C-alpha cells in the first residue's frame, strides 16, 4: 500500500520536475533569430556542419547600387566565435557576370566578416558566401531581390522644389534691395 502511494506521489512530483528541467535545458537550443543592428537585415541563418552563421545585408531593402554584407560566424558545437576563416562573397544574376569580394574581419568583432558588392541591376540576385577554415568549409546560397533605383519617380516634384528655391534666392535679395531703397528715400524726404 505504501509503495502504491509512493509511486503515485512520484508521478505527480518527479515527472513535472523532469519535464521542467528538459524545457530549461532545451531553451538555450531554440534557434531564435538574433536581432540585426540598425541598417542591416538578417537574410540567412544556418547551422551548416561546423559553422553557425548569420548573413546580414545593408540596406535592408536593397536598391540598385552598393550593398554591404556581414557574416557572423560561430562554431556550431561550442558556440565560440570563429575568427580565422576565409570568407568570400559572390553575387550573380542571369544577365550579369559573377561578382566577387573578400570578407574582411571587423577590427572590433573578429568573427564578423564584412564585404561590399555593387549590384547595379534590379531583379533577382543569388548571393553565395564561401567559408573556409583549416578543417572545414561550406557555402551559403541566398536569393535576394534588388529594387530599381527610382530617381525619375520624384522628377516632377524635385524640379518644382528646385525652381521654388531658385526663385527664393533671387526674389529675397531683390525685395530687400527695394525695401532699403524705400527706407533711404523716406529718410531723405
Domain ranges of the chain: 1-30, 41-146
d(CA 78, CA 63): 37
% the chain with pLDDT above 70: 77
- Confidence (pLDDT) at 152: 59
- Confidence (pLDDT) at 148: 85
Question: What is the CATH architecture of 41-146?
Answer: Sandwich (2.60)
- Confidence (pLDDT) at 154: 60
pLDDT bracket for residue 27 (50, 70, 90): very low
61: DSSP letter: S
d(CA 124, CA 115): 19
pLDDT bracket for residue 26 (50, 70, 90): very low
Residue 67: all three cell numbers together:
550593398
Question: Each residue of 137-173: pLDDT tens digit?
Answer: 888 888 998 888 776 556 677 788 889 899 999 999 9
Contacts 24+ apart (CB under 8 A), 95-103: 95/121, 95/123, 96/120, 96/121, 103/69, 103/71, 103/129
Contact 71/51 with Cβ under 8 angstroms? Answer: no
- Confidence (pLDDT) at 51: 84
Contact 53/127 with Cβ under 8 angstroms? Answer: no
Residue 105: all three cell numbers together:
574581419
Question: Each residue of 85-122: pLDDT tens digit?
Answer: 899 999 998 887 889 999 998 778 888 999 999 988 88
Contact 87/100 with Cβ under 8 angstroms? Answer: no
Res 123 pLDDT > 70: yes
Contact 135/77 with Cβ under 8 angstroms? Answer: no
pLDDT bracket for residue 24 (50, 70, 90): very low
Residue with cell string 530549461: 24
Whole-number mean pLDDT of the chain? 79
Amino acid at each position: 500500500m505504501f509503495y502504491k502511494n509512493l509511486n503515485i506521489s512520484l508521478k505527480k512530483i518527479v515527472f513535472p520536475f523532469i519535464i521542467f528541467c528538459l524545457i530549461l535545458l532545451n531553451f538555450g537550443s531554440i534557434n531564435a533569430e538574433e536581432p540585426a543592428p540598425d541598417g542591416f537585415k538578417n537574410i540567412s541563418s544556418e547551422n551548416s556542419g561546423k559553422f553557425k552563421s548569420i548573413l546580414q545585408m545593408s540596406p535592408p531593402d536593397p536598391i540598385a547600387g552598393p550593398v554591404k554584407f556581414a557574416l557572423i560566424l560561430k562554431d556550431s558545437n561550442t558556440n565560440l566565435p570563429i575568427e580565422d576563416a576565409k570568407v568570400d562573397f559572390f553575387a550573380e544574376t542571369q544577365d550579369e557576370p559573377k561578382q566577387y569580394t573578400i570578407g574582411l574581419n571587423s577590427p572590433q568583432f573578429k568573427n564578423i566578416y564584412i564585404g561590399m558588392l555593387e549590384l547595379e541591376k534590379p531583379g533577382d540576385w543569388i548571393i553565395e558566401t564561401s567559408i573556409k577554415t583549416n578543417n572545414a568549409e561550406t557555402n551559403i546560397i541566398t536569393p535576394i531581390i534588388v529594387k530599381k533605383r527610382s530617381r525619375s519617380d520624384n522628377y516632377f516634384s524635385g524640379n518644382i522644389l528646385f525652381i521654388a528655391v531658385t526663385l527664393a534666392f533671387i526674389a529675397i535679395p531683390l525685395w530687400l534691395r527695394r525695401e532699403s531703397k524705400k527706407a533711404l528715400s523716406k529718410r531723405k524726404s
